Amino acid sequence: MTYKAVAIYRNNEGRRIDEEIWLNERIKKKKQKLKEIKVTTQKDLPWSTGIIQQKRLEKVLDSKEVPHEQFMRFDGNKSIDEELRNKVHWDDPLFLINSKSVNLNSDKKVILPSNTIKRLKCRFLSPQNRFGIEAGYRWDGVVRGNGYEEKLLLKLNNKENRFSVLGDFE
Protein backbone atom coordinates (compact mmCIF):
# COMPACT_ATOMS: atom_id res chain seq x y z
CA MET A 1 0.00 0.00 0.00
CA THR A 2 1.27 3.38 -0.92
CA TYR A 3 0.04 6.51 0.71
CA LYS A 4 -0.10 9.80 -1.02
CA ALA A 5 1.88 12.24 1.12
CA VAL A 6 0.42 15.70 1.49
CA ALA A 7 2.81 18.61 1.89
CA ILE A 8 2.20 20.86 4.87
CA TYR A 9 2.87 24.54 4.25
CA ARG A 10 3.75 26.86 7.10
CA ASN A 11 4.21 30.61 7.42
CA ASN A 12 7.06 32.46 9.15
CA GLU A 13 5.53 31.87 12.58
CA GLY A 14 5.26 28.13 11.97
CA ARG A 15 1.48 27.99 11.62
CA ARG A 16 -0.14 25.87 8.97
CA ILE A 17 -1.38 27.74 5.93
CA ASP A 18 -3.09 26.82 2.70
CA GLU A 19 -1.03 25.95 -0.38
CA GLU A 20 -2.46 28.87 -2.38
CA ILE A 21 -1.55 31.39 0.31
CA TRP A 22 1.97 29.96 0.49
CA LEU A 23 2.38 30.20 -3.30
CA ASN A 24 1.09 33.80 -3.31
CA GLU A 25 3.62 34.76 -0.63
CA ARG A 26 6.44 33.18 -2.62
CA ILE A 27 5.42 35.05 -5.77
CA LYS A 28 5.27 38.36 -3.85
CA LYS A 29 8.76 37.75 -2.44
CA LYS A 30 10.17 37.01 -5.90
CA LYS A 31 8.58 40.16 -7.33
CA GLN A 32 10.06 42.23 -4.50
CA LYS A 33 13.51 40.81 -5.12
CA LEU A 34 13.23 41.56 -8.84
CA LYS A 35 12.21 45.16 -8.07
CA GLU A 36 15.17 45.57 -5.70
CA ILE A 37 17.55 44.20 -8.33
CA LYS A 38 16.15 46.61 -10.95
CA VAL A 39 16.54 49.56 -8.57
CA THR A 40 20.17 48.70 -7.78
CA THR A 41 21.09 48.16 -11.44
CA GLN A 42 19.43 51.41 -12.48
CA LYS A 43 21.47 53.46 -10.02
CA ASP A 44 24.47 55.11 -11.63
CA LEU A 45 27.33 53.64 -9.64
CA PRO A 46 30.82 55.02 -10.27
CA TRP A 47 32.43 51.58 -10.40
CA SER A 48 29.79 50.12 -12.73
CA THR A 49 31.19 51.85 -15.80
CA GLY A 50 34.85 51.51 -14.94
CA ILE A 51 37.09 54.17 -13.48
CA ILE A 52 39.79 53.74 -16.11
CA GLN A 53 37.28 54.20 -18.92
CA GLN A 54 36.01 57.40 -17.28
CA LYS A 55 39.54 58.76 -17.00
CA ARG A 56 40.18 57.93 -20.65
CA LEU A 57 36.98 59.73 -21.62
CA GLU A 58 38.04 62.81 -19.62
CA LYS A 59 41.43 62.80 -21.38
CA VAL A 60 39.74 62.58 -24.77
CA LEU A 61 37.41 65.47 -23.92
CA ASP A 62 40.36 67.52 -22.67
CA SER A 63 42.33 66.78 -25.83
CA LYS A 64 39.37 67.95 -27.94
CA GLU A 65 39.41 71.29 -26.10
CA VAL A 66 43.15 71.86 -26.61
CA PRO A 67 42.99 72.88 -30.31
CA HIS A 68 40.44 75.57 -29.49
CA GLU A 69 42.67 77.15 -26.83
CA GLN A 70 45.19 79.82 -27.67
CA PHE A 71 48.81 78.86 -27.96
CA MET A 72 49.90 81.35 -25.31
CA ARG A 73 48.24 81.13 -21.92
CA PHE A 74 47.12 84.35 -20.32
CA ASP A 75 46.19 85.12 -16.72
CA GLY A 76 42.61 85.85 -17.71
CA ASN A 77 41.87 82.30 -18.93
CA LYS A 78 38.86 81.01 -16.92
CA SER A 79 39.54 77.29 -17.34
CA ILE A 80 43.12 77.59 -16.09
CA ASP A 81 41.98 79.81 -13.24
CA GLU A 82 39.38 77.23 -12.15
CA GLU A 83 41.95 74.44 -12.38
CA LEU A 84 44.34 76.31 -10.11
CA ARG A 85 41.58 77.19 -7.64
CA ASN A 86 40.51 73.55 -7.33
CA LYS A 87 43.96 72.51 -6.13
CA VAL A 88 44.42 72.64 -2.35
CA HIS A 89 48.01 72.83 -1.17
CA TRP A 90 49.17 71.64 2.23
CA ASP A 91 50.97 74.91 3.00
CA ASP A 92 47.87 77.01 2.42
CA PRO A 93 47.19 78.75 5.77
CA LEU A 94 43.43 78.86 5.27
CA PHE A 95 43.38 75.14 4.51
CA LEU A 96 45.27 74.41 7.73
CA ILE A 97 42.92 76.60 9.76
CA ASN A 98 39.73 75.28 8.21
CA SER A 99 40.89 71.72 7.56
CA LYS A 100 37.91 70.28 9.42
CA SER A 101 35.44 72.13 7.25
CA VAL A 102 37.09 71.11 3.96
CA ASN A 103 35.63 67.96 2.48
CA LEU A 104 38.55 65.83 1.29
CA ASN A 105 36.21 63.63 -0.77
CA SER A 106 35.33 66.54 -3.03
CA ASP A 107 36.72 66.97 -6.52
CA LYS A 108 39.47 69.24 -5.22
CA LYS A 109 42.94 67.71 -5.29
CA VAL A 110 44.78 67.76 -1.96
CA ILE A 111 48.57 67.74 -1.88
CA LEU A 112 49.90 66.74 1.53
CA PRO A 113 53.52 66.31 2.60
CA SER A 114 54.62 62.84 3.65
CA ASN A 115 55.28 63.82 7.28
CA THR A 116 51.61 64.65 7.97
CA ILE A 117 50.36 61.16 7.07
CA LYS A 118 48.99 59.44 10.14
CA ARG A 119 50.61 56.13 10.93
CA LEU A 120 48.41 53.12 11.62
CA LYS A 121 48.18 51.88 15.18
CA CYS A 122 46.87 48.56 16.40
CA ARG A 123 43.61 48.97 18.30
CA PHE A 124 44.18 45.80 20.32
CA LEU A 125 46.38 45.40 23.38
CA SER A 126 49.92 44.51 22.41
CA PRO A 127 52.39 42.64 24.59
CA GLN A 128 54.68 44.85 26.67
CA ASN A 129 58.32 45.26 25.79
CA ARG A 130 61.20 47.08 27.45
CA PHE A 131 61.28 49.75 24.74
CA GLY A 132 57.61 50.72 25.08
CA ILE A 133 56.87 50.22 21.38
CA GLU A 134 53.18 49.72 20.64
CA ALA A 135 52.03 47.44 17.86
CA GLY A 136 51.48 49.39 14.68
CA TYR A 137 53.47 50.34 11.61
CA ARG A 138 56.83 49.73 13.32
CA TRP A 139 56.04 46.37 14.91
CA ASP A 140 53.34 43.82 14.21
CA GLY A 141 52.95 42.82 17.88
CA VAL A 142 54.26 39.27 17.51
CA VAL A 143 56.78 38.22 20.16
CA ARG A 144 59.58 36.35 18.43
CA GLY A 145 61.78 35.88 21.48
CA ASN A 146 62.32 33.11 23.99
CA GLY A 147 60.24 34.70 26.77
CA TYR A 148 63.10 36.56 28.49
CA GLU A 149 61.41 39.97 28.31
CA GLU A 150 58.16 38.72 29.82
CA LYS A 151 60.05 37.12 32.73
CA LEU A 152 62.06 40.30 33.25
CA LEU A 153 58.94 42.49 33.25
CA LEU A 154 57.19 40.11 35.69
CA LYS A 155 60.16 40.28 38.10
CA LEU A 156 60.22 44.08 37.93
CA ASN A 157 56.47 44.27 38.52
CA ASN A 158 56.69 41.86 41.47
CA LYS A 159 59.49 43.94 43.06
CA GLU A 160 57.50 47.15 42.59
CA ASN A 161 54.40 45.52 44.07
CA ARG A 162 56.36 44.24 47.10
CA PHE A 163 57.82 47.65 47.80
CA SER A 164 54.43 49.34 47.43
CA VAL A 165 52.83 46.81 49.81
CA LEU A 166 55.64 47.24 52.35
CA GLY A 167 55.31 51.01 52.06
CA ASP A 168 51.61 50.73 52.94
CA PHE A 169 52.39 48.90 56.21
CA GLU A 170 54.84 51.49 57.50
List the pLDDT tens digit at each of the 170 positions of the chain.
Answer: 567 888 889 888 889 999 999 999 999 999 999 888 877 765 656 666 678 888 888 888 878 877 777 777 666 778 778 888 878 776 777 765 665 554 555 555 555 555 556 777 788 888 877 788 888 888 888 888 898 888 988 898 898 888 777 776 66
Does one domain contain both 131 and 159? yes
What's the confidence (pLDDT) of residue 97?
62
The 8-class DSSP code of residue 134 comes to P
Query: What range defines the domain where residue 150 resides?
Result: 119-170
Q: Is residue 15 part of a domain?
A: yes
What's the confidence (pLDDT) of residue 99?
58
User: Which of 129, 168, 169 is closest to 152 using CA atoms?
Assistant: 129
Does one domain contain both 123 and 170? yes
The 8-class DSSP code of residue 91 comes to T
What's the confidence (pLDDT) of residue 31?
93
What's the confidence (pLDDT) of residue 74?
67
- How many domains in the chain? 3
Query: 105 and 126 in contact (C-beta within 8 Å)?
Result: no
Q: Is residue 67 part of a domain?
A: no
The whole-angstrom distance between residue 54's C-alpha and the CA centroid of its chain comes to: 22
Q: Where are the beta strands (DSSP E) in 3-108?
A: 9-10, 16-17, 87-89
What's the confidence (pLDDT) of residue 96?
58
Q: Is residue 51 part of a domain?
A: no
What's the confidence (pLDDT) of residue 150?
86
Does one domain contain both 111 and 128? no
For 13-23, letters b (16+ CB in 10 Å) and e give eeeeeeeeebe
Does one domain contain both 137 and 157? yes
